[in-house]
Amino acid sequence: MSSKKILVTICNFNHSQYLEESIKSIQNQTYENLDICVYDDGSNDIETVKSICEKLKVNDPRIRTIYSDSNKGKWHGLNESIKTTDAEICTSHDADDISLKDRLEMQYNTLTHTNTIHNLCGFHHCWNEDDIILHKDNRFNRETDITVIPPESVLELVQLGASHPKINHYFTGDFETAGVTSMFLKPFWDLGLRFNPPSVGLRTLLSEDSDFNFRMTTLFQRTSITAEKLYLYRRDTSTNTEEM
């Protein structure tokens, strides 16, 4: 079975300190058929960003760049990247985070084996560089079954979260998923399902990721979750730094 091309959008805004490590974590994925789009959303240090990207592009034709002349928002960058790809599957990755080497392959395999259209995985909360070092070389035993949360259970959990007045994010119960790891079939974006700004008054108000994932799950009811922590989320560089 041939692997389909996957678009990985890396949205950057003033995270040049982490950008090279972030891009390399996607370049070094075990899944290699990639379109890697680095979208810079009007960073203050754009020349540094360009220097990093151009250096990495020299030896990797999978990398392309979009440089915005102003800060338009992550939702805009995601849509622009998807609009310009020839990939059949789309996902994303934040410029200050790290994907484990198996992440894309394991999510792709889950999509394929469960015949779903949308998949997310879990993450490690990383509050400092010691946390990054602790987890960044994690690998998984391919001879054991990967834990998967099936579509009917995902839908039930997400609907439970939607019915709770104090939950305004994409809720998947005790197993937290990283919204940015959303992997989905591009034809559903082509049909009109877009990333929207978090201020437009939709159900999940905190982020464009949560809102998009909520609509994918509730509209099509074919979301699976790879119940493994494949993503390292740097909490100390986020706008949300409150420990959970």
Query: What is the full per-residue pLDDT of the chain (244 aa) written as tens digits?
Result: 468 999 999 999 999 999 999 999 999 999 999 999 999 999 999 999 999 999 999 999 999 999 999 999 999 999 999 999 999 999 999 999 999 999 999 999 999 999 999 999 999 999 999 999 999 998 877 667 789 999 999 999 999 998 888 887 899 999 999 999 999 999 999 999 999 887 675 655 567 888 899 999 999 999 999 999 999 999 988 544 343 3
Domains of the chain, residue spans: 6-237
Helix, strand counts (H, E) of the chain: 8, 9
User: Given this model, what pLDDT does residue 44 score?
Assistant: 96
User: Given this model, what pLDDT does residue 140 score?
Assistant: 79
* CATH number corresponding to 6-237: 3.90.550.10
User: Given this model, what pLDDT does residue 242 score?
Assistant: 40
71 burial level (CB within 10 Å; 0-12, 13-18, 19+) = middle
Which among 169, 175, 168 is positioned nearest to 153, based on CA atoms? 175
User: Given this model, what pLDDT does residue 143 score?
Assistant: 62
User: Given this model, what pLDDT does residue 206 score?
Assistant: 63
User: Given this model, what pLDDT does residue 208 score?
Assistant: 81
Token pair of 122, please? 């879990």
Taking the whole predicted model, whether its pTM rises above 0.75 is answered as yes
Contact partners, residue 170, CB within 8 Å, separation at least 6: 158, 161, 177, 179, 204, 209, 210, 213, 214, 217
User: Given this model, what pLDDT does residue 241 score?
Assistant: 39
